[in-house]
Chain A
Amino acid sequence: MKKDITEIIGFSFISLCMFVTILFLLTIIYFIGINGIKVISWKFLTQQPTNAMTGGGVAPAILGTLYLTLGAIIFSFPLGVICAIYLNEYTPKSYIMNIIRLSINNLAGVPSVVFGLFGLAVFVKYLGFGVSILSGSLTLGILVLPVIISASQEALMAVPHSLREASLALGATKWQTIKKIVLPSALPGILTGIILSIGRVAGETAPILFTAAAFYLKGYPKSIFSQVMALPYHIYALMTEGAHPEQQTAIAYGCALILLCLILFMSIVAIFIRHRQRSHYHAS
Chain B
Amino acid sequence: MQVKTIIIENRQGYSCNPLDAVKIKAEDVNFFYGKHHVLKGISLEILSNKVTAIIGPSGCGKSTFIRLFNRMYELVPNTILTGRIYLDNMDILGPCVDPTGIRRRIGMVFQKPNPFPKSIFKNISYGLEVNGIKNKGFIEERVVESLKKAALWDEVKDRLYDSALKLSGGQQQRLCIARCLAVRPEVILFDEPCASLDPISTRKIEELILELRKDYTIVVVTHNMQQAARISDYTGFFLLGELIEYDKTEVIFKAPKDKRTEDYITGRFG
Query: Taking CB as reference atom, which chain B residue is nearest A169?
Result: B108
* B176 close to A166 (CB less than 8 A): yes
The answer to the question of B112 belonging to the interface, with a C-beta cut-off of 8 Å to chain A, is yes
* A168 close to B114 (CB less than 8 A): no
Residues on A with beta carbons closer than 8 Å to the beta carbon of B19: none
The digit string for B211-254, where 1 denotes a CB below 8 A from any CB of A, is: 00000000000000000000000000000000000000000000
CA distance A92 to B130 in the complex (A): 25
Residues on A with beta carbons closer than 8 Å to the beta carbon of B108: 165, 169
Q: Enumerate the 8 nearest inter-chain pairs by beta-carbon distance, A residue then B residue, closest first.
A: A171-B104, A172-B130, A170-B127, A162-B114, A169-B108, A171-B103, A166-B114, A171-B100
Binds B, one of A35-43, A72-80, A173-181, A261-269: A173-181
* A residues 155-193 touching B (CB-CB < 8 Å): 160, 162-173, 176, 180-181, 184-185
* A170 close to B103 (CB less than 8 A): yes
Given known pairs A176-B130, A180-B130, the reply for A171 and B183 (CB within 8 Å) is yes
Residues on B with beta carbons closer than 8 Å to the beta carbon of A166: 110, 114-116, 176, 179
Query: Taking CB as reference atom, which chain A residue is nearest B179?
Result: A170
The answer to the question of A102 belonging to the interface, with a C-beta cut-off of 8 Å to chain B, is no
Interface residue count for B (Cβ, 8 Å)? 31
Query: Taking CB as reference atom, which chain A residue is nearest B77?
Result: A92
* B117 close to A165 (CB less than 8 A): no
Q: How far is the CB of B52 from chain A (nearest CB, A)?
A: 18
Which has the most chain A C-beta neighbours within 10 Å: B110, B117, B163? B117
Instruction: Provide 5 A-B residue pairs closer than 8 Å at the C-beta atoms, listed in order of the A residue.
Output: A160-B114, A162-B110, A170-B104, A171-B100, A284-B163
Contact of A185 among B75, B117, B119, B129 (CB under 8 A): B117
The answer to the question of B261 belonging to the interface, with a C-beta cut-off of 8 Å to chain A, is no
* A281 close to B104 (CB less than 8 A): no
* A168 close to B131 (CB less than 8 A): no
The digit string for B66-109, where 1 denotes a CB below 8 A from any CB of A, is: 00001010010100000000000000000000001101100110
* B residues 106-163 touching A (CB-CB < 8 Å): 107-108, 110, 112, 114-119, 126-127, 129-131, 161-163
The answer to the question of A222 belonging to the interface, with a C-beta cut-off of 8 Å to chain B, is no
Q: Measuring CB to CB, which residues of chain A are less than 8 angstroms from any residue of chain B?
A: 92-93, 160, 162-173, 176, 180-181, 184-185, 281-284
Contact of A173 among B107, B118, B130 (CB under 8 A): B130
* B110 close to A165 (CB less than 8 A): yes
Contact of A93 among B77, B116, B119, B130 (CB under 8 A): B77
Residues on A with beta carbons closer than 8 Å to the beta carbon of B129: 180
CA distance A93 to B78 in the complex (A): 11
Q: Measuring CB to CB, which residues of chain B are less than 8 angstroms from any residue of chain A?
A: 70, 72, 75, 77, 100-101, 103-104, 107-108, 110, 112, 114-119, 126-127, 129-131, 161-163, 165, 176, 179-180, 183
CA distance A172 to B182 in the complex (A): 13
* A165 close to B163 (CB less than 8 A): no
Residues on A with beta carbons closer than 8 Å to the beta carbon of B131: 170-171
Contact of A165 among B75, B77, B100 (CB under 8 A): B75
Q: How far is the CB of B45 from chain A (nearest CB, A)?
A: 23
Q: How far is the CB of B89 from chain A (nearest CB, A)?
A: 21
CA distance A181 to B179 in the complex (A): 15
Q: How far is the CB of B132 from chain A (nearest CB, A)?
A: 10
Contact of B103 among A164, A168, A180, A281 (CB under 8 A): A168
CA distance A281 to B165 in the complex (A): 11
Contact of A169 among B70, B112, B119, B165 (CB under 8 A): B70
Contact of A170 among B101, B115, B126, B163 (CB under 8 A): B126
Query: Taking CB as reference atom, which chain B residue is nearest A281?
Result: B117
CA distance A97 to B69 in the complex (A): 31
Given known pairs A180-B126, A282-B165, the reply for A172 and B100 (CB within 8 Å) is yes
* B112 close to A162 (CB less than 8 A): yes
Q: How far is the CB of A155 from chain B (nearest CB, A)?
A: 14
Query: Taking CB as reference atom, which chain B residue is nearest A283?
Result: B163
* A169 close to B161 (CB less than 8 A): no
Residues on A with beta carbons closer than 8 Å to the beta carbon of B179: 166, 170
CA distance A165 to B101 in the complex (A): 15
Residues on B with beta carbons closer than 8 Å to the beta carbon of A163: 114, 116-117
Residues on A with beta carbons closer than 8 Å to the beta carbon of B119: 284
Residues on B with beta carbons closer than 8 Å to the beta carbon of A167: 116, 126, 130
Query: Taking CB as reference atom, which chain B residue is nearest A164?
Result: B75
CA distance A81 to B100 in the complex (A): 26
* A168 close to B72 (CB less than 8 A): yes
Q: How far is the CB of A267 from chain B (nearest CB, A)?
A: 25
* B127 close to A165 (CB less than 8 A): no
CA distance A37 to B70 in the complex (A): 66
CA distance A281 to B70 in the complex (A): 29
